[in-house]
Structures are given as C-alpha cells and as structure tokens.
Chain A
Amino acid sequence: MEKAIIALAAAIAIGATSLATAWAQSRIGSAGAGTLSEKPELSGTIIIMMAIPETMVILGFVVATMILLMLK
C-alpha cells in the first residue's frame, strides 16, 4: 500500500506538471505560429519561449525522482 501511494505521488508530480507544460506550450505555440507568419526573424525567440514552460515538467520530474529514490 505504501509503495502504491509513493508511486501515485510520483505520478501526480510528473503528470500534473506535464499537463501544465502542455497547456502553456499550446498557448505559446499558437501565438508563436501567428508571430512567425508576420515576423519570421523572431524564430529564435519563439523557440526559447516554447522551451520556457518546460521548467515545470523538469521540476516535476526531479520531484518525482526524489520521491521514488528517497522514500523507497
């Protein structure tokens, strides 16, 4: 039971942050596509913008890893 709760906690940590990142990237992606159609020279900036929300999922991944490795 304890193992299941630990696994669930890790899954929530990575799952919730993945959804949040996906939602943020979908918004940035559509805005970025619109921007690029008018200003293609901003492609570099848009790529960076797209990468910014990934912090959330990376932190989620770190937390999930720590939950799994430290609580087992």
Chain B
Amino acid sequence: MILKMAKIAIAGPKGLLQDVLALLQELNTFQIEPCTAGIMEKVDEGSIRRFLIDESSLAERLYLENIRAGIDELFSYLPQLPFRTSYIAPLAIIDVIAKALPRHIATSKELRAHGEELQKELAGLRQHALFLDTLVPLLAVDGQAKELDFIGLEIKNASVIEHLRGLLSSLTDNRFELASTASPDNKTVVLITIDQSLSEKVRTALGSEHIPELEFPSSLSGLSLPAKIAYARKRLADLSSEIKGIDDQLRVFASRWLPIYQKVLDWVNDRVVLLKATASVFETRMCFFVHGWMPAADVAGVRKKLGQAFTGKVVLEEKEVREEDLDLVPVALRNPPYFQPFEIFARLLPLPKYSSFDPTLFIGIFFPVFTGMILGDAGYGMILMAASLFAARGFRKNNNIRDAARILFVSSIHTTLFGILYGEYFGDLGHLLFGLEPVWLERRTSILPMLYLAVTVGAFHVLLGLVLGLVSACRKKAKAGIACKILNLLAVVGIIAIVVSLFDIFPDLLTRPVIIAVLLLLPFLVFTGGLLGPLELIKNIGSIISYARIMAIGLTSVFLAYVANAFAGMTGNIVVGIIVAILLHAVNMVLGVFSPAIHTLRLHYVEFFSKFLEQGGKRFEPFKKTVKGE
C-alpha cells in the first residue's frame, strides 16, 4: 500500500544547519524538496531566500570532491579484493590521506602501467613462441649449417605451399628446403632454408607476392632463428615472474590500504551529499528553513529526536497536504509480507501517483484466484506446490526466484482448490482410476456455465475498478471526473442488468425502464467525459467480455490433459503409456503456469488498472547515508 506522507517544514538557527542535516541524514526518513512551488506561502517569499553556502563550506566541498576523485582513480589501478572493514575514524586521518593519496596514485599507476606493458609483451611473445615452437622440429634437420638463412612464414591456406615451392625453385635453382607443419592455432607454419647469398632475393620475391615474413618483436631482432627460440623461452619465463611480482605488490598494497580508503570514501561521499543538500535549504536573516516529505508515522519520532539533540532550538512543523500538493508528494510502497512477492508484477508498471492506489494489493488478491480458475487441476496444483517449495528452499538467496516461488505456491493452492471443485486430477485420471467426481461443475461439458462464470467474475472485477476510480477522483476532488465515473458506473450496471434479464434472473418488467435509463445517461456521459465518454462505456463492456479468456484458456488446459490421458491409453503398453502421459502432462503443466500467469496479468494491467490507476508518481528518496549503519 502507499504510505501516508506528511508535508514537513524544519526551521532553526543558521549555525545548526549542518548538524540538523547530519541528523536527518542519519535518520534516513526525510526527503528534501528543493522546489518551493506549492510549499512556501506567497507572503513569505519576500523574506525567505535560497541558502548561500559560505566560503569555508565551499572550500571543504571542493577539497572532499578532490579526495573522492583521487580515491576513485586509485581504486581503478588496484585489484578487486575482498577486504576487511576498517574501524578507523575518517575525520582524524583525512588530512594524512589527502597528503598520501597523490603518492599512492602515482605508485599504483606506475606499477599498473608497467604490468600492462609486460602483459602486452608477454601476449606478443606467446604468439611468436607458438610459431617458434612449431619450427623447432623443422630446425633440427636444417639448423646445422652456419651459412644458411631461415625464413619463417605463417600462412592460413596450406594450398599456397605448392605455389611457394614453384617460386623458390625458380629463384634458387632448386637450392632450397621447404618444410611445413600445422601450428596449434590451425595455421600452417612454413620454414624456408636457403643459402645466405639468396636470402635478399627470396625475401624481395616473397614481398612482391604479398607473402609476409613473420615479424618478430624488436627484442628478437638481429638474432638468428635458433637464438630467437632460446631467447623467447627465457624471456617468457622472466616476464611471467615479473608480472607476478607486480601483481603481488599491488595485492599487498590493496590489502593494506583498501579498507582505509573505502572507509574514507564512504565518509567523504556522505559529507559531500550533506554539503550538496544545503543547496536545497532556504534562509531568513537569522534562520535556516528546509522543507520536504516524510512518512506520517515517522513524524513524532523525528520531532522527538530533533528536540533531544537541539534542546528545542530546531522546530519541526507538519503542514496540511493540499489538493495542489498531491502531484508533488513522493510515493513509498510498503506491503505486508504476503503481498511483498507480488511487487515484482507491480514493478513492471510505472509508480502510481500518491492519490492513486498500490496495484500490489489487488494483484496479490486476484492473481492467484484467476490463475487457479484457469489451470484448475488438483494434480497439477500439488506438483506445482511441491516445485514451489523446492524452489523457495533451493534459492533462498535469490530474491526474484524466491518471490516467484512464493507466488507459485499461493497460486498452486488455488489451482488445487479449483481442481477439486472441477473434479480434475491430471485431467480425468482421478475419475478413471478412483471415480472422483466434480464438487461443483465439470469444465469439459459445462462450457456455457463456465463462460457465464468468467464474464460474471469480469463484471465484478471491472465494477470494482470503476468504484476505485471513483474513490480516486473523489480524493482529488475533481468534480467532472467524479460525475463521469458515477455515470459510467451506472451505465455499466444498467447494461449488466439488461443482459441478466435475458436469463430470467432480473424481472422482465424492469428491463425497459433500465434500457431507457441507460440511453438517457449517454448525453450526460458526453457532457462530463467529452466525446470519449460513451467510448469509455464501450471499452468497459469490452473489458468485461475479455474475462471470457478465463474460460477459454482453462478449456484448452482441460482438453490437453484429457488428450494426454487418451494418448497414453492408445499406446497399449503400460510403461510407454506412463512415459507419454508424464511428458504430455509436463508440457501442459509448463503451459499451464505461463499462459494463465500472462493472461491474468494482462487482465489486471489492461482491463482492471486502466479503470483507476494513475501512473507517474515520484519515488520517495529519503536523504540518507551512502553506507547503512555508519
């Protein structure tokens, strides 16, 4: 439900402003309203002006914001490690931290940059090492002669080798050796061995054929191929140990300083938020004045705490929430434990306005009932109940799954109850095996009664929505809105009465006067609601008929269950029959969870909430500390 809010004004001597704001921040229940519209009286506007921050506060804010930026930069260089909570008082060490911070940033930045450089070199060298390692067996054959030169190539397509062989043959008069092998990264490594006197010529020819020679890092340049291999192996080992050393240094530094810096950062954040809040404060010649909102239930507690802390020098006054304030009032939702899981459905909608209703309550009441009416099978209900209990136990720490499991549990209870009423236990299995009969009606054969039931439920739901819409209009004291809602309500009731008279429930004698009354209401609907007034009436009737889906989707579920049993019987083998039945019932159950849930939500969002819910509320965001419990 939407918490009742109080419009609050707090005033006191200017010297106490920072302390008052600090206390309000600690209490975490007051939202400061930076705008004066609708809150400040016209007569007071001349004597009250926006609070001007003094030089020392401004200097403090800049100093703290610099520290905050510095700590953020330092954190970007340090590894993310779990760290202990520090209990050091930040205020006592803030100046020491401010002095040490630039040095720590420089050291960490340098270490991080050096580490990244080494990582880059390591990655490059690893790639070349892969190539060189592939060459080692080839080199074992050719590497003995000192006057030979080696050219390494890495090619993607092995078919190029034949072309390469032809090219080398013409260039060197067959005085070459070409060996190739597949590298671990699915490329082909080629080693060309030629006389040193021919190397320049071959390299030029390879260049003109767009076959690039593998380029080695600068650290390997000038070395022969065997020397390159030896050097790469040694350098790889050195780089790994150097990188590990840098990581260790950063880890040691982080484990020593992260708790302290985090503590200081939290304190700095709170302090900056507090200093920024002074921009929303007003002042007179002697006093400060701050206004905003807090839950009405907290007003007495806050007043008492202000009285105790400032010995009556600071005054809290609760003001009347006027009609024109209703759009400004922030909205906070708080529901009893049963309804809390259903907030995940309400969160799909924008926040309701303060003068409207919390949709959670209605979803919590009607969602399980409608889902149960649609699925309505005691066997499915009990399996879903077990599944929901298992999910709730298995995923205690995952809030979304836990909430979904709770919703499923409540819905499965309704599914079981309606299943008993309909006499459905895995379709007609209960009837076939144990002779179980429906307590109320059998859905498979009672199609029209189910349709009437579904539409009747729809009529009740839509009328409830219209009544809530009327209450909402009354709260806002919107006369045209109230008249339009009343006329719509009367017209819908009249049309329902006319339809009911077709079934001899409503006396025939009254049918004609009711028709005339509904026709007479139409011009008034145009007067109060404009041209859209009668359209709204048609929409309401359409909404009621839309509830026929409760019967329609339910019927598909029933028939699928019957088909599952019939198929199982047709197999002629008990084991195969059981497997087929389990599979088909499982499919039906999965459909039976999603389809009713989606359609029930749709009935709420489109048919029900459109009658009364006003969206576009502002979320209640109290002035609070960044870290709780500080």
Contacts and interface: CB of A to CB of B under 8 A. Distances in A.
Nearest to B553: A58
Q: How large is the interface on B (under 10, 10 to 19, 20 to 34, 35 or more residues)?
A: 10 to 19
Given A44-B348, A48-B598, A55 B447 contact: no
A48 B545 CA distance: 18
A25 to B, nearest CB: 12
B601 A48 contact: yes
Q: Name the 9 nearest CB pairs between A and B, nearest first.
A: A44-B348, A51-B602, A58-B549, A58-B552, A62-B548, A61-B552, A51-B598, A55-B546, A48-B605
Interface in A13-34: none
8 contacts: A48-B348, A48-B605, A50-B598, A55-B549, A58-B549, A58-B552, A62-B548, A62-B551
Contacts of B345: 44
Contacts of B546: 55, 58-59
Interface of B is mostly: helix
A69 interface: yes
Contacts, number: 44
B451 interface: yes
A44 B605 CA distance: 11
A62 B451 contact: yes
B91 interface: no
B348 A45 contact: yes
Interface of B: 345, 348, 447-448, 451, 545-546, 548-549, 551-553, 598-599, 601-602, 605-606
Contacts of B552: 58, 61-62
Nearest to A57: B552
A50 B599 CA distance: 10
A47 B598 contact: yes
A7 to B, nearest CB: 16
Contacts of A69: 447-448
B113 to A, nearest CB: 36
Nearest to A47: B598
A39 B551 CA distance: 34
B549 A54 contact: yes
B270 to A, nearest CB: 29
Nearest to B451: A62
A48 B448 contact: no
A54 B546 CA distance: 10
Given A51-B601, A52-B602, 16 more contacts: A48-B598, A48-B602, A48-B605, A48-B606, A51-B599, A54-B549, A55-B549, A58-B546, A58-B549, A58-B552, A58-B553, A59-B545, A59-B546, A61-B552, A62-B451, A65-B447
